Amino acid sequence: MLIESNSKLIMIGDSVTDFERSRPRGEGLFGGIGKSYVSLVDALLNVTYPQSRIRVINMGTSGDNIRNLKARWQTDVLDLKPDWLSILIGINDVWRQFDTPLIPENHVPLEEYRQTLDELVSITQPKLKGLVLMAPYFMEPNRSDPMREMMDQYGEAVQETAKKHGAVYVDTQAAFDAYLRYYHPVSITWDRIHPNVLGHMIIARAFLNAIGFEWKK
């Protein structure tokens, strides 16, 4: 597995990451890490690799787009000095263009998204042992759907950034697409964005596969 023993892993993003995590940091007693894929990653890592003592911290914030992420980057990432960092952002950057089409100041165009992600990665990666970039997704199997089509473009920007910087890339959309070959989206989500526990496991599994997690260990 890529993540070394005694590592601090911060997982940051929007509401999909947040899911009722504690403030100021999502960790500790009484479900402090929240109920998202982050809690599943934490549980699987520490059950399967107990000797590695990997500390997982949830720093997701509901409603965030990449502008919001940049605004809190110093306090919520750099000041916490992670060894590994995982980023899942971009859903709201796309979503606001569809659910609030007449409020353009809430929209984040693709080029701004790409440039800001590259900026955050550039200033952070030298301080890390490892970086994971996860593609935003929309649980819609019809790739011609306008929102799905745009989300795919933002996902491609994440993939290009990961390749440019040598980061681990997680194709979260592809992980959902594999499930949606057999089931309708309503089986795991009410709005095609926020997953139930099965959907969170799809994200967690995709992340763990990307970092070389040994499921049969």
For the chain, the structural domain boundaries read 8-210
Burial class from Cβ neighbours inside 10 Å (0-12, 13-18, 19+) for residue 65 reads buried
SS3 at position 181: coil
The per-residue b/e assignment along 20-30, b for 16 or more CB within 10 angstroms, e otherwise, is bbeeeebbeee
162 Cα distance to chain centroid:
13
> How confident is the model at residue 217, as a pLDDT?
74
Relative to beta strand 168-170, strand 8-13 is: unpaired
What are the C-alpha distances in Å from 72 to residues 10, 60, 160?
14, 11, 24
> What H or E segment, with its residue span, contains residue 11?
strand 8-13
List the chain residues with pLDDT less than 50: none
* pTM score above 0.85: yes
> How confident is the model at residue 185, as a pLDDT?
97
> How confident is the model at residue 213, as a pLDDT?
98
**CATH top class, domain 8-210:** alpha beta
CB 14 within 8 A of CB 183: no
Cα 141 from Cα 144, distance rounded (Å): 9
CB 117 within 8 A of CB 162: no
Active site residues: 15, 191, 194
The per-residue b/e assignment along 128-145, b for 16 or more CB within 10 angstroms, e otherwise, is bebbbbbbbbbbbeeeee
